[in-house]
Structure 1
Amino acid sequence: MKKTRKRALITGITGQDGSYLAEYLISRNYDVWGIIRRTSLDPLMRLKTIAHSPRLHLLYGNLRDSPAITRALKEAQPDEIYNLAAQSDVGISFKCPEETWEVNYAGAKRLIREAMRICPKARIYHASTSEMFGKTPPPQNELSAFAPVSPYGEAKLKAYRELVCGYRAKHKLFICSGILFNHESSRRGEHFVTRKTTLSLAHIKLGLQKSFALGNLEAKRDWGFAGDSVRAMHLMLQQKTPKDYVIATGESHTVREFVEAAAKELGMTIRWSGKGLREVGKDAKGRIVVRVDKKFFRPSEVRDLRGDASSARKELRWKSHTSFKQLVRMMVSADLKNVRQQMH
């Protein structure tokens, strides 16, 4: 008897992680349903490689709309659900805290409760975040204390404790979380610090921009490749029992180091001078290319994140395949290519 293909439902499918996960699942012979929001921008800009696949099915809706969630679950009848939809900008969460809570906590609750009713046997992956650790010093693992300092981290922590840990214990639901540290790619939103840096430097290299501004240059992050992270999400739902895992590279770098590495890929050298808000980064000719602007500082900053993913390596057999240098090179090359194409 021919085995039927697995069916997956992805919220946030048009985002960075959702697009890589959809590609990965389709490559593994899944039928994939995705919930997309109505937008004036092209919702398929990150899904171009699979946009015409007969295995991709897109449905309009969002986590604020219960009828849309119900309709998506009934149509997809998923074996696996990946909840990646979120208000994912930590800085914006300080300015729009209610929206952040509405999507990241209440929206997740709507989805999970409806999934329990409509497809109770479905396995659920819920995206958690290293921002839940907040002020806890590195290295952070599954046993580290949570101490979030942003509305984003707080909403994600409540969803994790109540909906993941709580429902798993109370309802015996197969639900788990990946506590993902920063993961980047050329598909990252242009307002995130890594992509803002690679895109701005590509413009500067080609003479289309003079400089750009950043916030805290000393913030340290564990930056990995989003394409590596989605493999871990899938692996978690293939286990016999649901369990949460930290997904990280185990290596951290400052924002300053990211800027320097990106510039190096473009044959540029950044020399720093000044202190605090007056610090600037200059190129070899002494022209200012990077400035520090207080408007990009967060009201409360997470200073140092570095994950310990030893449990994932041991139990899931997962590991990051992309080094920091390779990640930076990948992002710089993609942005340089895209900017050049836009010039012609």
Structure 2
Amino acid sequence: MKKALICGISGQDGSYLAQFLLEKGYEVFGTSRDAQGGGFRGLGLLGIKEQVTLFSMDPEDFRSVLVAVRKSQAEEIYFLAGQSSVGFSFEQPAETIQSFTIGILNVLEAVKMEGREIRVYHAGSSEAFGDTQGLAATEDTAFRPRSPYALAKASSTWLVDNYREAYNLYACTGILFNHESPLRPERFVTQKIIQSAKRIAGGSEEKLYLGRLDIQRDWGWAPEYVEAMWLTLQQEKAEDFIIASGESHSLEYFVEQAFVQLDLDWREHVVQKQELFRPTDLAVSRANPGKAREKLGWKAKSGIKEIISGMVGETVLSGL
């Protein structure tokens, strides 16, 4: 039985990855900063909390990370921990940068110290590319981060690349574009839209306040993306991969479709607020996931309307 350690198991991706690995026959270990007090809502909704061994780990404390690596004796480590909101990173830049860069650095150092065969997956982000002028990003596209979150993700990706080259570690990054599910917290704009629309459909007279609606993003279905994480660690050679659908849509289109599925006209309920505009934001995020399709045999299955439908209907399980 293979053993996997998921750092940051309480989030959306950690929960779905745990479910996926359990179905593959893995023994799964998971960490959060406070395993005793953590709610682990996602694991509970998926009905798998009792099947996972949980313990506390502070990614920014090397000793804590080393203990987790040794306790689990994992052959695969998935580093999904860190402050995950782009918007919040402008308010807490130091916390955001440290949570990613120091966290993955400690994991890489622990693996180097262990001296046994351990494969490391690091969750990168499309935000690191910055503004690509509307061109589809590939694994060779230069990083031009435009937020503290993006800077943190770019830096941690470079750390992984450096340790792979300098110390011959099996360490790689999945550069994930946006991916959603009902397990998303409401601080994320997609979930904010869905939940507001559902309340309005239920009779609420509230308004949905949003920032820019013209931005374009590549949205996927989170349960599909965790398979790509696993596939990344099953390759003979450690490489970085873009994980995306290859299709970008505007936030206005996402809003429109969410309200349409509830028989509502979004224009009657949505108000743009200047205060919600970020200091810097990407106009268009576009991806070329060709390498993942060719080498991993992975391709996103769910389109934008299916994803919105799954969130509206709160389809928690993997299939749509």
Q: TM-score w.r.t. structure 2 length?
A: 0.94
Q: Using a 3 Å threshold, how does the CA distance of structure 1 residues 129 and 269 change in structure 2: closer, same or farther? A: same
Tell me the secondary structure at the aligned position of residue 29 of structure 2: strand
Task: Describe how 1:221-300 pairs up with structure 2 within 5 A.
Answer: 221-270=217-266, 281-282=267-268, 289-300=269-280
- Out of 170, 187, 190, the position equivalent to 2:166 is 170
Q: Give the distance between the partners of 2:11 and 2:193, measured in 1 at CA.
A: 19
- Out of 187, 212, 218, the position equivalent to 2:214 is 218
TM-superposed CA distance for 1:41, in Å, is 7.3
- Out of 138, 150, 155, the position equivalent to 1:153 is 150
TM-superposed CA distance for 1:66, in Å, is 2.3
Tell me the secondary structure at the aligned position of residue 172 of structure 2: strand
- 5+ residue gaps in structure 1? 271-280, 283-288, 336-344
How many residue pairs get aligned? The number is 312
Q: Give the CA RMSD over aligned residues.
A: 1.4
Alpha-carbon deviations, 1:272-310, whole Å to 9, x = none?
xxxxxxxxx21xxxxxx1111122211011110111101
Q: Which runs of 4+ in 1 moved over 4 A?
A: 39-42
Name the stretch that deviates more: 57-66 or 299-308.
57-66
User: 1:77 is matched with which residue?
Assistant: 73
Tell me the secondary structure at the aligned position of residue 82 of structure 1: strand
- Out of 317, 331, 338, the position equivalent to 2:311 is 331
Q: Using a 3 Å threshold, how does the CA distance of structure 1 residues 185 and 12 change in structure 2: closer, same or farther? A: same
Report if aligned partners of 2:232, 2:296 keep a CA contact under 8 Å in 1.
Answer: yes
TM-superposed CA distance for 1:106, in Å, is 1.2
Q: Give the distance between the partners of 1:168 and 1:182, measured in 2 at CA.
A: 26
TM-superposed CA distance for 1:184, in Å, is 0.6
Name the stretch that deviates more: 205-214 or 120-129.
205-214
Name the stretch that deviates more: 171-180 or 109-118.
109-118
User: Does structure 1 residue 142 correspond to structure 2 residue 122?
Assistant: no
User: 2:318 is matched with which residue?
Assistant: none
TM-superposed CA distance for 1:42, in Å, is 5.0
Tell me the secondary structure at the aligned position of residue 291 of structure 1: strand
Q: Give the distance between the partners of 1:42 and 1:226, measured in 2 at CA.
A: 22
Q: Give the distance between the partners of 1:255 and 1:67, measured in 2 at CA.
A: 42
User: 1:7 is matched with which residue?
Assistant: 3
Q: Give the distance between the partners of 2:248 and 2:97, measured in 1 at CA.
A: 28
User: 1:308 is matched with which residue?
Assistant: 288
User: Does structure 1 residue 50 correspond to structure 2 residue 33?
Assistant: no
TM-superposed CA distance for 1:39, in Å, is 8.1
Q: Give the distance between the partners of 1:200 and 1:39, measured in 2 at CA.
A: 31
Q: Give the distance between the partners of 1:192 and 1:209, measured in 2 at CA.
A: 22
Q: Give the distance between the partners of 1:205 and 1:119, measured in 2 at CA.
A: 56
Question: Which amino acid in 2 is paired with 1:244?
Answer: D
Report if aligned partners of 2:130, 2:282 keep a CA contact under 8 Å in 1.
Answer: yes
- Out of 167, 182, 189, the position equivalent to 1:186 is 182
